[in-house]
Homo-oligomer: A and B are copies of this chain.
Amino acid sequence: VVTIADVAARAGVSIATVSRVLSPGAAPHPVSADTAERVRAAARELSFVPSAMAQGLVVRRSGLIGLVVPDLLDPYYPSIASGVEQAARKSQHAVLICNTLGTESRLRDYVRLLRARRVEAIVVSGGSTLRDRQLRLLERSDVPVVLIGRPVEDGGLTYVSIDNMAAARAATEHLIQIGRTRIAHLSGATTQRTMHDRADGFFAAVRIPSIEGRLEALLLETSGAPEHGYSVVAEQLAKGPRADGIFAATDRLAIAAMAAVHDAGLQVPQDVAVIGFDDIPLAGLLRPSLSSVAQPAVQLGKEAIRLALQLAAGQRAQSVVLPARPIFRASTQP
Contacts and interface: CB of A to CB of B under 8 A. Distances in A.
A140 to B, nearest CB: 8
Interface string A77-101: 1110110011001000011111100
Interface stretch (A31-39, A110-118, A202-210): A110-118
A312 interface: no
A113 B94 contact: yes
Contact of A118 (B1, B94, B281): B1
Contacts of A53: 53, 56-57, 62, 117-118
The residue among A97, A118, A142, A230 with the most chain B CB atoms within 10 A of its own CB is A97
A73 B67 contact: no
Contacts of A252: 282, 285
A52 B114 CA distance: 9
B57 A115 contact: no
Contacts of A73: 78-79, 82, 281
B99 A82 contact: yes
Contacts of A67: 97
A191 interface: no
Interface stretch (A150-158, A211-219, A258-266, A320-328): A258-266
A4 to B, nearest CB: 12
A62 to B, nearest CB: 6
Given A112-B49, A252-B285, A259-B285, A97 B85 contact: yes
Contacts of A116: 49-52
B75 A75 contact: yes
Contacts of A62: 53
Nearest to A106: B89
A234 to B, nearest CB: 12
Interface string A227-249: 00010000000000000000000
Contacts of A286: 255, 259, 286
A224 interface: no
Contacts of A50: 116
A277 to B, nearest CB: 15
25 contacts: A47-B140, A49-B116, A50-B116, A53-B53, A53-B56, A53-B117, A53-B118, A67-B97, A72-B79, A72-B81, A73-B281, A75-B78, A77-B78, A82-B99, A86-B99, A94-B113, A96-B97, A226-B285, A252-B282, A252-B285, A255-B286, A256-B285, A259-B286, A262-B287, A263-B287
Given A53-B53, A95-B97, A282-B282, 8 more contacts: A47-B142, A49-B115, A54-B57, A72-B78, A78-B78, A81-B97, A89-B109, A96-B97
Nearest 6 pairs of A and B residues by beta carbon: A262-B287, A97-B97, A52-B116, A72-B78, A72-B82, A78-B78
